[in-house]
Amino acid sequence: MPTDLGWAALEWTGTEHVIASSDAAGFRADSQLILAEQELVRVGYRLECDAGWRLTGLTISLAAAGTDRTLVLAADGAGRWRAGGRPLPALDGCIDVDIDCTPLTNTLPIRRLAWSPGTSRDLDIAYVSVPGLTVRPARQRYTLLERDEARGTARYRYESGSFRADLLVDADGFVIDYPGLWRRIGAGPEVPA
């Protein structure tokens, strides 16, 4: 069953609406963002993951006055990537993707990996920058700080380079609060596991 997720940007003007669904075949998300950070842009993306929450496909497009660009990535779930049918060896070993203008992609490693409080994981990810639509490998670390079973939430520390944020997520691993950057403004029914 599809569900709606929404976030409001806190550091700049922007909103995101995602329609997400999950079943035995995997997870899918279809998103639209309106951002007014450096310029006013509309960003849309569709991502698909296999049943193990490993990315298999991403199409991301950007539109603004005089600009219309699209990036299409395919991944095999084992760390090999292609763009426009060509291999991207620089991304070899990257399982997850991080699109820098959305909190949704933080969900992928949270759902993909087994966690217990205090567990840290260093991950090589494919980092997509918006508005440039460039992709490069990056190293990130996630640490499960705490789980609140009564509230159905958990807090993960996200680190990349000198950046660090403690993300509050719901029981499905979707960000509720990304301090200073994103706050959830709505969510539909839970996405099935």
pLDDT of residue 186: 72
pTM here is 0.91
Dist. CA 90–CA 155, nearest whole Å = 31
pLDDT of residue 187: 60
Question: Which pLDDT tens digit goes with each residue over 117-152?
Answer: 999 999 999 999 999 999 999 999 999 999 999 999
Cα separation of the two ends of the chain:
11
Query: Position of tokens 């839970």?
Result: 190
CB atoms within 10 A of CB 178: 22
DSSP letter, residue 191: P
Residue found by looking up tokens 């992609």 in the block: 105
Q: Which residues of the chain have pLDDT under 70?
A: 187-193
**Encoded amino acid at 39, one letter:** E
C-alpha gyration radius of the chain: 16
CA distances to 19, 51, 73, 75, 91 from 28, rounded to whole Å, are 8, 10, 15, 14, 22
Counting beta carbons within 10 angstroms of the beta carbon of residue 137, is it exposed (0 to 12), middle (13 to 18) or buried (19 or more)? middle
**Residue 145, helix vs strand vs coil:** strand
Report pLDDT for 193. 45
The pLDDT, as a whole number, for residue 190 is 53
pLDDT at 37: 79
Under DSSP, the state recorded for 1 is -
Q: Which residues pair with 169 in a beta bridge?
A: 154, 175
**Per-residue pLDDT, 57:** 96
Where on the phi/psi map is residue 173: left (φ > 0), alpha (ψ -120 to 50), or beta?
left
Q: Provide the pLDDT for residue 92.
A: 96
